[in-house]
Amino acid sequence: MSLLTKLFNYILLTTKKYGIDESHGMSHSMNVLHFANNIYEAEIQNYPILETHERIIYVSAIIHDMCDKKYMDEDEGLYNIGCFLNDKIEPSEIDAVKRIVRTMSYSKVKKNGFPDLQEYQMAYHVVREADLLSAYDFDRCMLYNIHHNKHNKNSENIEMINAFSDAHELFHKRVFKHEDDSLLITDYSKAMHKELSLLAHTRINTWKKMIQKTTI
Q: For 53-101, how does the pLDDT look when each residue is reduced to its tens digit (9 = 90+)?
A: 999 999 999 999 999 999 999 999 999 999 999 999 999 999 999 999 9
Confidence of residue 149 (pLDDT cuts 50, 70, 90): confident
At 157-211, the pLDDT tens digits run 678 899 999 999 999 999 999 999 999 999 999 999 999 999 999 999 999 999 9
Instruction: Classify residue 70 as exposed, middle or buried by CB count within 10 Å of its CB (0-12, 13-18, 19+).
Output: middle
129/183 Cα distance (integer angstroms): 8
At 8-56, the pLDDT tens digits run 999 999 999 999 999 999 999 999 999 999 999 999 999 999 999 999 9
pTM, 2 dp: 0.94
Instruction: Count the residues in the chain.
Output: 216
Q: What is the pLDDT of residue 152?
A: 57
Contact 178, 193 (CB under 8 A): yes
Counting residues of the chain whose pLDDT is more than 90, the rounded percentage is 91
Q: What is the pLDDT of residue 155?
A: 55
| Amino acid found at 33 | L
Domains of the chain plus CATH, in order, are 1-126 (1.10.3210), 135-216 (no CATH)
Spatial neighbors of 134 by CB under 8 A, at least 6 apart, are 28, 31, 32, 35, 140
Contact 123, 88 (CB under 8 A): no
104/67 Cα distance (integer angstroms): 12
